[in-house]
Amino acid sequence: MNRACVILLNSALGPLDYRVPDGMQVEPGTIVLAPLGPRQLVGVVWDENRIASDPVEDHRLRPLLSAYDLPPLAAPLRRLIEWTADYYLAPPAAVLRMALASGNALDAARPTIEYSATGTPPERMTARRAAAIDRIGERQGSVRELASWGGVSVSIIRGLIGAGAIAPVEISPATRFPVPDPDHAPPSLEAAQGEAAALFAAAVEARAFAPFLLDGVTGSGKTEAYFEGVAAALRAGRQSLVLLPEIALTEPFLTRFAARFGAAPIVWHSAVRQSQRRRAWQAIANGEAAVVVGARSALFLPYPKLGLIVVDEAHEASFKQEEGVAYHARDVAVMRARFEDIPIILASATPAIESRQMAEIGVYREVRLPDRYGGAALPTIEAIDLRRDPPPRGRWLAPALAAAIADRLERGEQSLLFLNRRGYAPLTLCRKCGHRFQCPNCTAWMVEHRLTRRLACHHCGHVMPPPPSCPSCEETDMLVPVGPGVERIADEVAALFPDARTAIVTSDTIWSPAKAAEFVAAMDEGAIDIVIGTQLVTKGYHFPNLTLVGVVDADLGLSGGDLRAAERSFQQIMQVAGRAGRGEKKGHVYVQSHEPEAPVIAALVRGDAPGFYAAETEARRAAAMPPFGRLAAIIISSEDADEARKAANAIGRAAPKQDGMAVYGPAPAPLAMLRGRHRLRLLVHAARALDVQDVIREWLGALEWPRGVRVAVDVDPYSFL
Ligand SMILES: [Zn+2]
Ligand SMILES: [Zn+2]
């Protein structure tokens, strides 16, 4: 009798055995539809000897319903799913779900309509129409996408369709994606870039696991160097995957990619439309997708012939997923490269201490690009001591910084002000009674957003209109904003420079790749003088006419005080500083701080990255913190405060006494309430050599807690909130 062990897309279930009906062919990796009670669930046939399913007698087995006509998930991906589930203490089904993207990616694709320019000019050509056609170029997409690429309204695109300059194209599911051409526009590389490129190409040809740390200063041309690895994979008929930390970075990446390879890669992130997603998933699974660029969720897709993985901006914390399976895409990407037996490139101007350490001990091969491309100089960094050179009362820009902006305006150059805080003010209070606006669901202040006229919680999304009077003392006109967000800085800039053209760049204004493209186009055209932005503007962008960067509050990132606070601040300021002076004009960076003698700021001003990293690394080593020791967080939450506390205490009491491991807490989490749930944390600190997952599995596996209590384990945590 033919049995199959199946992992269903239901995290609450373990693997189940099914009967394979006569005439159905399955093998490990086959995607199937299986009955469960009255329902039908998608699942994947697994290797029997690798997972334990509950033994069921043959005659009680239910038959599988059908097998999908799709390629089976290959063994390296199945090993990756097992490894990820094991390492991050997650149900295999939850990891498998990321590989299958969503049940309906599996359905037969339906035809869709897209639009592209026909090359026939409209009878009535206006400057706006011509510019739109020019900007759209050879791209193909929905009317809305064309409008955003062209920088015009939807009605102008509709007009161009009516005039025959843009025409609909039916995308049948059988339509192939354009294939990038490795010989389309080979770059001219500088010496160090050329060596790196040759190394990557050779590694792709060798088809063996080879991790590289591509450490190059901002503007050194890392992308061009790893593109040659992609070119080698294209020539060898293998797939490449490029992971980016922010979907806002996709658009500039696509432009550069198309310039090098003559066609766009396949894009994969949460904002990709459902119909495109299905086509993309199937093209990836059948090997047609030659190059995929995407967010961390692209990592688990079923590439059958992967030849290269690149993790760009590899130091970025956004590669860490905080919800669901709490995995780190950079680390899992290295494991995928290992299982697939292929090279992986971690690219960064400010590599994480974890990655540097791997290079230090010889596990990763370090490839350095020490100079900016085209002879551009690195910007000068200067601190402004806010104690000695403070801004006027109620303002945030010191006179020296304001003068530098005025100077750039005079010269027709662009400036960027960086403050990693969305909204107008982080806190609103009543001047009369001191009432502070707190989120009803979270231990967090409500942040005022003037652009959208509301107060918002940045943790749960709760919003409310700004109240006309104080809810506590009922006094009107007594509410005052405390502290600045980017919107408030924009107000100050408008007051100082009424004629300057400004743009606010945050996730509130740049919420899609198309919005990012609009912003990039406006910068390139010189339609913006001053950008005020959050971390969204710190990376990836290349604006040759941007010569001044002002860091409004360099102390902000240090106040969190977690393990990586100093490192993160250093990286963030280095990255934002790296936006300055990327063309022929030299850049200058002002860093405003109340404590310029702090090691982070002092190192930035001295340009002493090696010294900073050496000191940070030593501190971590001395405290046995990652990467020299291991951390895992256990977060206990419930809507009932008492229940959460009791469960946390019980888990704390049951903590195993284990050599090389200490357990701290339970203590209320800094975010003691989140989305209406009360939260407590335990922190496990263990020696590097200890299998901390095994210990936690056994520890928690022996305990029970009420239904309303959720216990989440975060292995290698990045957030300590
Ligand atoms: Zn009041
Ligand atoms: Zn909230």
Q: What is the CA(465)–ligand 1 centre distance, in A?
A: 17
Evaluate whether 156 touches 147 at the Cβ level (below 8 Å).
yes
Residues in the chain: 721
Strand order of the β-sheet with 588-593 is 380-385, 588-593, 546-551, 414-418, 530-533, 502-505
Tokens read off for 650: 């019980």
Evaluate whether 415 touches 622 at the Cβ level (below 8 Å).
no
pLDDT at 103: 55
Cα separation, 109 vs 407, whole angstroms: 56
Q: What is the CA(422)–ligand 2 centre distance, in A?
A: 15
Judged by its nearest atom, the ligand closest to the C-alpha of residue 476 is: 1
Evaluate whether 42 touches 9 at the Cβ level (below 8 Å).
yes
Judged by its nearest atom, the ligand closest to the C-alpha of residue 457 is: 2
Tokens read off for 471: 């809810």
CA atoms 169, 172, 173, 175: torsion sign: negative
Q: What is the CA(427)–ligand 1 centre distance, in A?
A: 14
User: DSSP secondary-structure letter at 484?
Assistant: -
Comparing CA positions, the residue from 426, 421, 454, 458 lying closest to residue 441 is 458
Judged by its nearest atom, the ligand closest to the C-alpha of residue 458 is: 2
Number of helical H runs and strand E runs in the chain: 19, 29
Judged by its nearest atom, the ligand closest to the C-alpha of residue 477 is: 1
Give the SS3 label for residue 653: helix
pLDDT at 10: 87
pLDDT at 533: 94
Judged by its nearest atom, the ligand closest to the C-alpha of residue 443 is: 2
CB-proximal residues (5 Å) to ion ligand 1 = 430, 432-433, 435, 470, 472-473
- Contacts of 227 by beta carbon, 8 Å cutoff, 6+ apart: 187, 197, 257, 260, 261
Q: What is the CA(455)–ligand 2 centre distance, in A?
A: 11
* Amino acid residing at 403: A
The Cβ of residue 50 has, within 10 Å, a number of other Cβ atoms equal to 12
Cα separation, 538 vs 348, whole angstroms: 13
**What pTM did the predictor assign?**
0.87
Give the SS3 label for residue 390: coil
Evaluate whether 679 touches 644 at the Cβ level (below 8 Å).
yes
Cα separation, 6 vs 43, whole angstroms: 6
pLDDT at 213: 98
Tokens read off for 687: 């020696």
Q: Following CA atoms 412, 418, 422, 426 in sequence, which dihedral angle do they give, to the nearest 10 degrees?
A: -120
**Extended beta strands in 522-602, E state:** 530-533, 546-551, 588-593
Comparing CA positions, the residue from 234, 302, 297, 301 lying closest to residue 263 is 234
Q: What is the CA(462)–ligand 2 centre distance, in A?
A: 5
Judged by its nearest atom, the ligand closest to the C-alpha of residue 473 is: 1
Judged by its nearest atom, the ligand closest to the C-alpha of residue 429 is: 1
Q: What is the CA(454)–ligand 2 centre distance, in A?
A: 14
pLDDT at 271: 75
Judged by its nearest atom, the ligand closest to the C-alpha of residue 469 is: 1
Inter-CA distances, 702 with 565, 625, 635, 697, 699, Å? 35, 28, 17, 9, 6
Evaluate whether 286 touches 239 at the Cβ level (below 8 Å).
no
* 10-residue averages of pLDDT along the chain (721 residues): 88 89 94 93 89 76 93 96 96 93 67 83 87 83 83 89 89 80 93 95 98 91 95 98 87 89 91 78 93 95 97 94 94 98 96 95 94 81 95 95 97 95 93 92 92 90 90 89 95 97 91 81 94 85 90 85 87 88 87 93 90 92 94 96 96 94 93 94 95 95 95 93 85
Cα separation, 130 vs 145, whole angstroms: 17
